[in-house]
Structure 1
Protein backbone atom coordinates (compact mmCIF):
# COMPACT_ATOMS: atom_id res chain seq x y z
CA UNK A 1 0.00 0.00 0.00
CA UNK A 2 1.27 3.47 -0.79
CA UNK A 3 1.42 6.27 1.74
CA UNK A 4 -1.57 7.97 0.10
CA UNK A 5 -3.85 4.91 0.18
CA UNK A 6 -6.57 4.95 2.81
CA UNK A 7 -8.97 2.32 4.07
CA UNK A 8 -12.51 3.68 4.06
CA UNK A 9 -15.33 1.69 5.62
CA UNK A 10 -18.89 1.74 6.83
CA UNK A 11 -20.24 -0.55 9.56
CA UNK A 12 -23.72 -1.77 10.47
CA UNK A 13 -25.40 -3.87 13.13
CA UNK A 14 -27.31 -6.63 11.37
CA UNK A 15 -30.62 -8.05 12.60
CA UNK A 16 -30.90 -10.87 10.06
CA UNK A 17 -27.51 -12.06 8.75
CA UNK A 18 -29.07 -14.77 6.55
CA UNK A 19 -31.22 -12.23 4.67
CA UNK A 20 -28.15 -10.07 4.17
CA UNK A 21 -26.15 -13.02 2.82
CA UNK A 22 -29.02 -13.88 0.46
CA UNK A 23 -29.16 -10.32 -0.93
CA UNK A 24 -25.39 -10.11 -1.35
CA UNK A 25 -25.28 -13.52 -3.03
CA UNK A 26 -27.95 -12.28 -5.47
CA UNK A 27 -25.55 -9.43 -6.35
CA UNK A 28 -22.71 -11.85 -7.07
CA UNK A 29 -20.90 -11.99 -3.72
CA UNK A 30 -19.51 -15.38 -2.72
CA UNK A 31 -18.51 -15.47 0.94
CA UNK A 32 -15.58 -17.36 2.41
CA UNK A 33 -15.92 -20.00 5.06
CA UNK A 34 -16.04 -18.50 8.57
CA UNK A 35 -12.66 -17.79 10.19
CA UNK A 36 -11.96 -16.96 13.80
CA UNK A 37 -10.08 -13.71 14.50
CA UNK A 38 -8.48 -12.83 17.84
CA UNK A 39 -7.57 -9.14 17.91
CA UNK A 40 -5.72 -7.24 20.61
CA UNK A 41 -6.20 -3.49 20.19
CA UNK A 42 -3.61 -0.97 21.39
CA UNK A 43 -3.57 2.80 21.87
CA UNK A 44 -0.58 5.11 22.12
CA UNK A 45 0.46 5.98 25.67
CA UNK A 46 -1.29 9.21 26.64
CA UNK A 47 -4.45 8.53 24.60
CA UNK A 48 -7.60 7.58 26.55
CA UNK A 49 -11.14 6.62 25.57
CA UNK A 50 -13.24 9.75 25.34
CA UNK A 51 -10.52 11.64 23.47
CA UNK A 52 -10.73 12.11 19.73
CA UNK A 53 -9.20 9.32 17.66
CA UNK A 54 -8.53 11.64 14.70
CA UNK A 55 -4.83 11.87 13.98
CA UNK A 56 -3.94 9.42 16.78
CA UNK A 57 -2.12 6.19 15.97
CA UNK A 58 -3.54 2.82 17.03
CA UNK A 59 -2.21 -0.70 16.64
CA UNK A 60 -3.79 -4.13 16.34
CA UNK A 61 -2.34 -7.60 16.64
CA UNK A 62 -4.57 -10.22 14.97
CA UNK A 63 -4.32 -13.98 14.95
CA UNK A 64 -6.28 -15.91 12.33
CA UNK A 65 -5.69 -19.57 11.52
CA UNK A 66 -2.28 -19.51 13.25
CA UNK A 67 -1.18 -16.45 11.25
CA UNK A 68 -0.33 -13.20 13.10
CA UNK A 69 -0.81 -9.77 11.51
CA UNK A 70 0.37 -6.46 12.96
CA UNK A 71 -1.55 -3.40 11.82
CA UNK A 72 -1.21 0.33 12.51
CA UNK A 73 -4.14 2.64 11.78
CA UNK A 74 -4.38 6.41 11.91
CA UNK A 75 -7.91 7.82 11.63
CA UNK A 76 -7.95 10.81 9.29
CA UNK A 77 -11.43 12.13 8.38
CA UNK A 78 -13.26 9.98 10.97
CA UNK A 79 -12.77 6.73 12.91
CA UNK A 80 -13.63 4.59 9.88
CA UNK A 81 -11.40 6.41 7.39
CA UNK A 82 -7.80 5.51 8.16
CA UNK A 83 -4.31 5.43 6.81
CA UNK A 84 -3.38 1.80 7.39
CA UNK A 85 -0.21 -0.31 7.29
CA UNK A 86 -0.07 -4.01 8.07
CA UNK A 87 2.32 -6.91 7.85
CA UNK A 88 2.51 -10.51 8.92
CA UNK A 89 4.68 -11.31 11.95
CA UNK A 90 6.07 -14.64 13.07
CA UNK A 91 5.55 -14.57 16.83
CA UNK A 92 2.57 -12.91 18.48
CA UNK A 93 4.10 -12.80 21.95
CA UNK A 94 7.27 -11.08 20.73
CA UNK A 95 5.27 -8.60 18.64
CA UNK A 96 3.11 -7.81 21.69
CA UNK A 97 6.25 -6.92 23.65
CA UNK A 98 7.56 -4.83 20.73
CA UNK A 99 4.26 -2.90 20.56
CA UNK A 100 4.52 -2.14 24.28
CA UNK A 101 8.13 -1.01 23.78
CA UNK A 102 6.98 1.32 20.98
CA UNK A 103 4.82 3.23 23.47
CA UNK A 104 1.43 1.55 23.10
CA UNK A 105 -0.75 -0.07 25.75
CA UNK A 106 -3.38 -2.81 25.29
CA UNK A 107 -6.98 -1.59 25.34
CA UNK A 108 -9.48 -4.38 24.58
CA UNK A 109 -9.48 -7.85 23.07
CA UNK A 110 -11.94 -8.41 20.22
CA UNK A 111 -12.87 -11.95 19.23
CA UNK A 112 -15.03 -12.53 16.19
CA UNK A 113 -15.96 -14.96 13.47
CA UNK A 114 -15.64 -13.35 10.02
CA UNK A 115 -16.79 -14.25 6.53
CA UNK A 116 -15.58 -12.13 3.60
CA UNK A 117 -16.40 -11.57 -0.05
CA UNK A 118 -15.17 -9.25 -2.79
CA UNK A 119 -17.63 -7.32 -4.92
CA UNK A 120 -15.86 -4.97 -7.31
CA UNK A 121 -13.56 -2.72 -5.25
CA UNK A 122 -15.44 -3.53 -2.03
CA UNK A 123 -14.43 -6.01 0.65
CA UNK A 124 -17.57 -7.23 2.39
CA UNK A 125 -17.23 -8.58 5.93
CA UNK A 126 -19.96 -10.32 7.90
CA UNK A 127 -18.80 -10.55 11.50
CA UNK A 128 -20.20 -12.25 14.59
CA UNK A 129 -18.46 -10.31 17.36
CA UNK A 130 -18.35 -11.97 20.78
CA UNK A 131 -20.54 -10.01 23.18
CA UNK A 132 -21.88 -7.66 20.47
CA UNK A 133 -23.66 -9.70 17.80
CA UNK A 134 -23.69 -9.55 14.01
CA UNK A 135 -22.09 -6.71 12.03
CA UNK A 136 -21.63 -5.97 8.35
CA UNK A 137 -18.64 -3.95 7.15
CA UNK A 138 -17.96 -2.63 3.68
CA UNK A 139 -14.35 -1.57 3.11
CA UNK A 140 -12.52 -0.10 0.16
CA UNK A 141 -9.04 1.26 -0.40
CA UNK A 142 -8.70 4.64 -2.09
CA UNK A 143 -5.84 6.88 -3.09
CA UNK A 144 -5.66 10.55 -3.88
CA UNK A 145 -7.60 13.39 -2.33
CA UNK A 146 -11.13 12.04 -2.65
CA UNK A 147 -13.03 12.92 0.55
CA UNK A 148 -13.64 9.93 2.82
CA UNK A 149 -17.17 11.09 3.61
CA UNK A 150 -18.05 10.97 -0.10
CA UNK A 151 -16.79 7.38 -0.36
CA UNK A 152 -18.67 6.45 2.82
CA UNK A 153 -21.89 7.92 1.37
CA UNK A 154 -21.45 5.74 -1.73
CA UNK A 155 -20.81 2.64 0.37
CA UNK A 156 -23.85 3.48 2.51
CA UNK A 157 -26.04 3.83 -0.61
CA UNK A 158 -24.94 0.34 -1.66
CA UNK A 159 -25.73 -1.05 1.80
CA UNK A 160 -29.16 0.61 1.84
CA UNK A 161 -29.91 -0.73 -1.66
CA UNK A 162 -29.80 -4.27 -0.26
CA UNK A 163 -33.21 -3.80 1.37
CA UNK A 164 -32.35 -5.45 4.69
CA UNK A 165 -32.53 -3.89 8.14
CA UNK A 166 -29.13 -2.39 8.98
CA UNK A 167 -28.23 0.00 11.81
CA UNK A 168 -25.21 2.14 10.93
CA UNK A 169 -22.45 2.53 13.51
CA UNK A 170 -19.65 5.07 13.32
CA UNK A 171 -17.63 3.41 16.09
CA UNK A 172 -14.79 0.92 15.79
CA UNK A 173 -15.05 -2.56 17.32
CA UNK A 174 -12.68 -1.63 20.15
CA UNK A 175 -14.96 1.24 21.23
CA UNK A 176 -18.08 -0.93 20.90
CA UNK A 177 -16.52 -3.79 22.92
CA UNK A 178 -15.26 -1.38 25.58
CA UNK A 179 -18.75 0.17 25.91
CA UNK A 180 -20.36 -3.27 26.16
CA UNK A 181 -17.87 -4.32 28.85
CA UNK A 182 -18.54 -1.10 30.82
CA UNK A 183 -22.31 -1.72 30.73
CA UNK A 184 -21.83 -5.33 31.83
CA UNK A 185 -19.51 -4.38 34.72
Structure 2
Protein backbone atom coordinates (compact mmCIF):
# COMPACT_ATOMS: atom_id res chain seq x y z
CA UNK A 1 0.00 0.00 0.00
CA UNK A 2 1.09 3.57 -0.65
CA UNK A 3 1.81 5.81 2.36
CA UNK A 4 1.89 9.48 3.15
CA UNK A 5 2.05 11.84 6.10
CA UNK A 6 -1.07 13.97 6.42
CA UNK A 7 -2.24 17.03 8.26
CA UNK A 8 -5.59 18.78 8.04
CA UNK A 9 -6.11 22.32 9.31
CA UNK A 10 -9.08 24.61 9.54
CA UNK A 11 -8.45 27.92 7.77
CA UNK A 12 -10.50 31.10 7.56
CA UNK A 13 -10.44 31.34 3.78
CA UNK A 14 -8.57 29.22 1.22
CA UNK A 15 -8.38 32.11 -1.24
CA UNK A 16 -6.10 33.99 1.16
CA UNK A 17 -3.66 31.02 1.11
CA UNK A 18 -3.49 30.65 -2.68
CA UNK A 19 -0.72 33.25 -3.23
CA UNK A 20 1.50 31.76 -0.49
CA UNK A 21 1.05 28.20 -1.77
CA UNK A 22 1.49 29.25 -5.41
CA UNK A 23 4.79 30.98 -4.56
CA UNK A 24 6.35 27.68 -3.37
CA UNK A 25 4.51 25.23 -5.68
CA UNK A 26 6.03 23.27 -8.54
CA UNK A 27 2.63 22.93 -10.19
CA UNK A 28 -0.96 24.00 -9.80
CA UNK A 29 -3.48 25.25 -9.17
CA UNK A 30 -5.83 22.56 -10.41
CA UNK A 31 -9.51 22.87 -9.45
CA UNK A 32 -11.22 19.53 -8.72
CA UNK A 33 -14.85 18.97 -7.74
CA UNK A 34 -15.11 15.88 -5.53
CA UNK A 35 -18.12 13.95 -4.24
CA UNK A 36 -16.99 11.41 -1.63
CA UNK A 37 -19.32 8.70 -0.35
CA UNK A 38 -18.14 6.75 2.70
CA UNK A 39 -19.20 3.16 3.41
CA UNK A 40 -19.15 0.99 6.53
CA UNK A 41 -15.73 -0.58 6.94
CA UNK A 42 -14.33 -2.16 10.11
CA UNK A 43 -10.67 -2.16 9.06
CA UNK A 44 -10.24 1.49 8.02
CA UNK A 45 -12.18 3.81 5.75
CA UNK A 46 -13.68 3.06 2.37
CA UNK A 47 -14.82 5.89 0.14
CA UNK A 48 -15.87 6.32 -3.43
CA UNK A 49 -14.69 9.61 -4.91
CA UNK A 50 -16.66 10.73 -7.96
CA UNK A 51 -15.14 13.41 -10.17
CA UNK A 52 -17.86 13.16 -12.83
CA UNK A 53 -20.48 10.67 -14.02
CA UNK A 54 -17.80 8.59 -15.78
CA UNK A 55 -14.69 9.10 -13.64
CA UNK A 56 -14.00 8.19 -10.05
CA UNK A 57 -11.90 6.11 -7.71
CA UNK A 58 -12.49 3.77 -4.82
CA UNK A 59 -10.10 4.54 -1.95
CA UNK A 60 -9.38 2.40 1.08
CA UNK A 61 -7.25 4.03 3.77
CA UNK A 62 -6.13 3.67 7.37
CA UNK A 63 -4.89 6.50 9.56
CA UNK A 64 -5.16 7.52 13.19
CA UNK A 65 -7.70 10.16 14.21
CA UNK A 66 -5.41 12.67 15.90
CA UNK A 67 -4.29 16.19 15.15
CA UNK A 68 -0.83 16.82 13.78
CA UNK A 69 1.09 14.89 11.15
CA UNK A 70 0.05 11.24 10.94
CA UNK A 71 0.89 8.31 8.69
CA UNK A 72 -1.79 7.14 6.28
CA UNK A 73 -1.82 3.89 4.29
CA UNK A 74 -3.98 3.87 1.18
CA UNK A 75 -4.86 2.13 -2.06
CA UNK A 76 -6.81 3.68 -4.95
CA UNK A 77 -8.70 1.91 -7.73
CA UNK A 78 -10.02 3.86 -10.72
CA UNK A 79 -13.57 3.41 -11.98
CA UNK A 80 -15.43 4.64 -15.05
CA UNK A 81 -18.81 3.93 -13.41
CA UNK A 82 -18.87 5.69 -10.04
CA UNK A 83 -22.68 5.90 -9.84
CA UNK A 84 -23.29 2.16 -10.22
CA UNK A 85 -20.36 1.39 -7.93
CA UNK A 86 -21.85 3.76 -5.29
CA UNK A 87 -25.18 1.92 -5.55
CA UNK A 88 -23.50 -1.51 -5.25
CA UNK A 89 -21.39 -0.51 -2.25
CA UNK A 90 -24.35 1.19 -0.57
CA UNK A 91 -26.42 -1.98 -0.87
CA UNK A 92 -23.55 -4.21 0.27
CA UNK A 93 -22.09 -2.14 3.13
CA UNK A 94 -24.34 0.88 3.78
CA UNK A 95 -23.36 4.52 3.55
CA UNK A 96 -22.01 6.36 6.59
CA UNK A 97 -21.76 9.81 5.01
CA UNK A 98 -21.14 11.96 2.01
CA UNK A 99 -18.72 14.87 1.57
CA UNK A 100 -18.84 17.32 -1.33
CA UNK A 101 -15.99 19.72 -1.84
CA UNK A 102 -14.15 21.90 -4.28
CA UNK A 103 -10.43 21.24 -4.01
CA UNK A 104 -7.61 23.42 -5.28
CA UNK A 105 -4.55 21.20 -5.71
CA UNK A 106 -0.93 22.31 -5.76
CA UNK A 107 2.24 20.20 -5.71
CA UNK A 108 5.14 21.38 -3.59
CA UNK A 109 7.89 18.87 -4.32
CA UNK A 110 6.42 15.52 -3.31
CA UNK A 111 3.70 17.09 -1.17
CA UNK A 112 0.12 17.47 -2.35
CA UNK A 113 -1.32 20.70 -0.95
CA UNK A 114 -5.13 20.73 -0.92
CA UNK A 115 -7.11 23.89 -0.34
CA UNK A 116 -10.62 22.57 0.30
CA UNK A 117 -14.00 24.29 0.38
CA UNK A 118 -16.19 21.65 2.05
CA UNK A 119 -19.96 21.95 1.70
CA UNK A 120 -21.51 22.44 5.14
CA UNK A 121 -18.15 22.73 6.95
CA UNK A 122 -15.98 25.56 5.67
CA UNK A 123 -12.41 25.94 4.47
CA UNK A 124 -9.44 23.66 5.13
CA UNK A 125 -5.85 23.02 4.14
CA UNK A 126 -4.50 19.49 3.80
CA UNK A 127 -0.91 18.44 3.30
CA UNK A 128 -0.05 14.95 2.04
CA UNK A 129 3.69 14.23 2.02
CA UNK A 130 4.13 11.13 -0.16
CA UNK A 131 6.59 8.64 1.38
CA UNK A 132 8.95 6.31 -0.45
CA UNK A 133 8.65 2.56 0.06
CA UNK A 134 11.35 2.26 2.74
CA UNK A 135 11.24 5.83 3.99
CA UNK A 136 10.66 6.51 7.67
CA UNK A 137 7.56 8.49 8.65
CA UNK A 138 9.76 10.95 10.55
CA UNK A 139 11.14 12.52 7.37
CA UNK A 140 7.61 13.18 6.13
CA UNK A 141 6.60 14.60 9.52
CA UNK A 142 9.55 17.02 9.37
CA UNK A 143 8.52 18.09 5.87
CA UNK A 144 4.90 18.61 6.95
CA UNK A 145 6.02 20.77 9.90
CA UNK A 146 8.27 22.83 7.62
CA UNK A 147 5.42 23.48 5.17
CA UNK A 148 3.04 24.33 8.00
CA UNK A 149 5.55 26.95 9.15
CA UNK A 150 6.02 28.37 5.65
CA UNK A 151 2.25 28.66 5.20
CA UNK A 152 1.54 30.07 8.67
CA UNK A 153 -0.49 27.08 9.90
CA UNK A 154 -0.56 26.99 13.71
CA UNK A 155 -0.90 23.81 15.81
CA UNK A 156 -4.25 25.04 17.19
CA UNK A 157 -5.68 24.97 13.64
CA UNK A 158 -5.05 21.24 13.21
CA UNK A 159 -8.02 18.89 12.92
CA UNK A 160 -8.01 15.30 14.20
CA UNK A 161 -10.91 13.94 12.15
CA UNK A 162 -12.01 13.23 8.60
CA UNK A 163 -14.50 15.61 6.97
CA UNK A 164 -17.18 12.92 7.12
CA UNK A 165 -16.78 12.74 10.92
CA UNK A 166 -16.91 16.52 11.29
CA UNK A 167 -20.12 16.60 9.24
CA UNK A 168 -21.64 13.79 11.33
CA UNK A 169 -20.83 15.66 14.56
CA UNK A 170 -22.34 18.84 13.15
CA UNK A 171 -25.55 16.95 12.26
CA UNK A 172 -25.80 15.43 15.78
CA UNK A 173 -25.22 18.83 17.37
CA UNK A 174 -28.05 20.39 15.36
CA UNK A 175 -30.58 17.67 16.27
Structure with higher helix content:
2
Equivalent residue for 2:157? 167
The 5 Å alignment of 1:42-121 reads: 42-44=39-41, 47=42, 56-66=43-53, 67-75=55-63, 78-79=64-65, 80-100=70-90, 104-121=93-110
Q: Is 1:40 the counterpart of 2:37 in the alignment?
A: yes
With 105-114 and 33-42 compared, the bigger mean Cα shift is at 33-42
Is the 8 Å Cα contact of residues 38 and 62 (structure 1) preserved in structure 2?
A: yes
Q: What secondary structure is seen at the aligned counterpart in 1 of 2:101?
A: strand
Alpha-carbon distance in 2 for matches of 1:6, 1:158: 18
**1:150 Cα shift?**
5.7
Is the 8 Å Cα contact of residues 22 and 106 (structure 2) preserved in structure 1?
A: no
**1:134 Cα shift?**
0.5
Is the 8 Å Cα contact of residues 11 and 138 (structure 1) preserved in structure 2?
A: yes
Alpha-carbon distance in 2 for matches of 1:110, 1:25: 26
Equivalent residue for 1:122? 111
Is the 8 Å Cα contact of residues 10 and 152 (structure 1) preserved in structure 2?
A: no
Q: What secondary structure is seen at the aligned counterpart in 2 of 1:131?
A: coil
Taking a change above 3 Å as real, the CA distance of residues 18 and 30 of structure 1, as seen in their structure-2 partners, is farther
Equivalent residue for 2:12? 15
Alpha-carbon distance in 2 for matches of 1:57, 1:164: 27
Is the 8 Å Cα contact of residues 32 and 105 (structure 2) preserved in structure 1?
A: no
Q: Which runs of 5+ in 2 are unaligned?
A: none
TM-score with structure 1 length normalisation? 0.78
Alpha-carbon distance in 2 for matches of 1:18, 1:97: 35
Report the aligned-residue RMSD. Answer: 2.3
Alpha-carbon distance in 2 for matches of 1:125, 1:117: 7
Alpha-carbon distance in 1 for matches of 2:161, 2:134: 24
**1:37 Cα shift?**
0.8
Equivalent residue for 2:134? 144
Q: What secondary structure is seen at the aligned counterpart in 2 of 1:64?
A: strand
